Structure 1
């Protein structure tokens, strides 16, 4: 199915005409006549020490860094190719820091032929509509793009991801921000993983695509690694036909076994049984991604609020809500109303947490804004937390769960 989709997209939207020799040559220029002379003749580099000196003087590496990165370049007896590569990258908007980062990833890039090995990759990215800065971001995140053949590798990867994610915009977004996004082989990794999830696990490709739009790395794992994730999900009792199965795989992918076990022990210390833990994961897999420290803070708050552990296990979504953005402000509002005799407290706090911001404001804040103006101040602070991460005290693991 994935192969058929790939071929249909290739036929529909081929990039092959985009890569013309004339346009590739338009990318190639050197900053001065001295650069052109260097590209033609090169300067000699008869020993490794000279290459260390070259990396220091031409790239700005420290002597110790240059000594390390010069080792793969020891065979060079001329700086012709390094000069060409450096001039080309500067012409494409790479500053000194970006160039050093690329070279540190693979010093052999300095041995590449610009016209044959580098220019086609930059043209590929340019033809996708990426700006000069976007191209720099994409290569710094996925430098191995420079190592791949445009027609045999880059285009099939692009079309495969476009068919999975549903739009080129999402592909480009991940290309600029997701490390190693284009690293996996279509034939050896992506196709086998999709086939495994579809044929052996019974998961439709559309359901997989929903998760991949946020975390494409899930399908980029080695096939044996993906099978191990499925086995872990099976151990939790998650039915493969459940719509939460792929989300459970995604959560397990982001949590190491050591961290998973630490979460199990923490929740056991709070009074949960293993069956309650598994049940919670099946209901809200992203629960696994909350850091241990944040979990302790949330648990302490609910315990101080006299919420029983078994109730939390039965309604685990309350663990996903941000303390600073939602839970604590709403708790303070309702407590203030109770203290003034303006609310009986008959409504369960769970339902108060589930309410949308608009409904909560309409029911608990706006009717009392004249008599209790402090309520508006509480909600303004909560709103500021939502607008500005500076006020957001939750951990990185919690981002996206609120």
Structure 2
């Protein structure tokens, strides 16, 4: 009787599975899952037993070895791991070579967290031969002054350089940069940091560096532009920008020329005109704008919102003439909360108490370091120094508090 019941149950169960077009399977690592003997395994452990359902039309519920390796060891999603496999970035059937890549990075000072980021960005590295493809590049970087502490964060951010040819790409670009930058170390750091830009626009960069040198721009200025704004060196109409800045009265042989070139290229014509219109609304003329720009080109990198905030505080709250800022336009580039407001309130108090001459320069107090400012405009007035210091420190403290809390500064 019991045998008949069991047979009947099996028949019903079989019909149910067939009607649902599905099977149930238990997969154990012993029979189907390869063993991963690598240092990161403890961070991304493989489950010893999995439960899955697959349709009868599916060919297999198992992944290629390299796909499972990415999923289990580096947190890849199923889709991203398959994409790396289908794009032929990773295709290997044993963990040996991939483990040797991980070991290579660990031996060169890369924490496991950095290695995970690198592999997520460049999974193809797991298929490379570390001593043939990676070691020569590391030796080149280190032999030219870069340290592991330099290389680790740079390559974590941009591992793409490790895919390039040392002889055909890396060394020629290094030689180009080393002619402009002060040290080989600077060249290596710049090379890795901006590798993608340099490789895409290599020929244009070579031409523009030669153009700037012929235009009379010092190597120190060219170097600063390469390090801080490599996109400028990739400009297809750089000659027009050079001529425009020279036409505004800037001398190409000065460092100010480089700042003006940068400010001009970082600001579209539309945005430039909008900033000029804002300054004119606060009483400046076109000539005032040009004169201020010649004095401190970085002023035109100030946002429209900040220009309005500074002008509102200067004119409406302090009651001062906006034209005073044309003499020291660098004030617009300072922090409103930590620099302009605390100093402005101190100077305003001194003027109200008659402790500072009314015809004295309004902008001079804003050019000193904090130490000199406190000595000249706070501590030199012994009777009022405690109150002046309180005004100053309260605004500084408020600025940092509002910044830490992500709140706007109340003027």
Name the TM-score, length of structure 1 as normaliser.
Answer: 0.69
Name stretches of at least 5 consecutive residues in structure 2 with no aligned partner.
Answer: 1-34, 40-60, 407-411
Greater helix percent: which structure? Answer: 1
Superposed, which structure 2 residues align to 1:210-289 within 5 Å? 211-212=224-225, 215=228, 217=230, 221-222=233-234, 224=236, 226-227=238-239, 229-230=241-242, 233=245, 237-239=248-250, 241=252, 243=254, 244-256=256-268, 259-289=271-301
Deviation at 1:352, TM superposition (A): 2.9
Distance 2:82 2:273 in 1: 43
Secondary structure class of the residue paired with 2:228? coil
Corresponding residue for 1:121? Answer: 137
Shift of 1:146: 0.5
Distance 1:360 1:35, change over 3 A: closer
Displacement of 1:120 in angstroms is: 1.4
Tell me, yes or no, if the aligned pair for 1:157 and 1:186 is still in contact at 8 Å.
Answer: no
When structure 1 is superposed on structure 2, of 283-292 and 364-373 the one drifting more is 364-373
- Structure 1 residue 188: deviation in Å? 1.8
Distance change >3 Å, CA 150–CA 315, structure 1 → 2: same
Is contact 1:55-1:61 (8 Å) kept? yes
For the residue of structure 1 that corresponds to 2:87, the secondary structure is helix
Task: Count matched residues.
Answer: 348
Are the aligned partners of 1:121 and 1:150 in contact in 2 as well (CA < 8 Å)? yes
Matched, 1:107 2:123: yes
The unaligned stretches of length 5 or more in structure 1 are 1-31, 37-45, 396-402
Task: Tell me how far apart the structure 2 counterparts of residues 77 and 241 of structure 1 sit (CA, whole Å).
Answer: 56
**Following superposition of structure 1 onto structure 2, how do residues 308-387 of structure 1 map, counting pairs within 5 Å?**
308-380=321-393
Contact 1:193–1:226 at 8 Å: present in 2 too?
yes
- RMSD between aligned residues: 4.1
Given the superposition, is the C-alpha separation of residues 129 and 255 from structure 1 closer, same or farther in structure 2, using an over 3 Å criterion?
same
What's 1:192 paired with? 207
Task: State the shift of 1:131 in Å.
Answer: 4.5
Matching residue of 2:55: none
User: Does the aligned pair in 1 maintain the 2:331–2:366 contact within 8 Å?
Assistant: yes
Query: Which whole-Å deviations, capped at 9, do the CAs of 1:62-112 have from their partners, x for residues lacking one?
Result: 334324433323783534544443343344343454334323434333332
Secondary structure at the aligned position of 1:373 is classed as helix
Indicate which of 183, 187, 202 corresponds to 2:198.
183
Structure 2 equivalent of residue 291 of structure 1: 303
Listed one character per residue, the Cα deviations across residues 312-362 of structure 1 (whole Å, up to 9, x for unaligned) are 345423323333333222222233234444444331212333345455434
Q: Is the 8 A contact 1:181 1:217 kept in 2?
A: no
Q: Equivalents in 1 of 2:319, 2:109: separation in Å?
A: 59
Mapping for residues 154-173 of structure 1, pairs under 5 Å: 154-171=170-187
Paired residue for 2:10? Answer: none
Q: Which has the higher contact order (CA 8 A, sep 6+)?
A: 1
Partner of 1:72: 87
Q: Distance in 2 between matches of 1:259 and 1:68?
A: 42
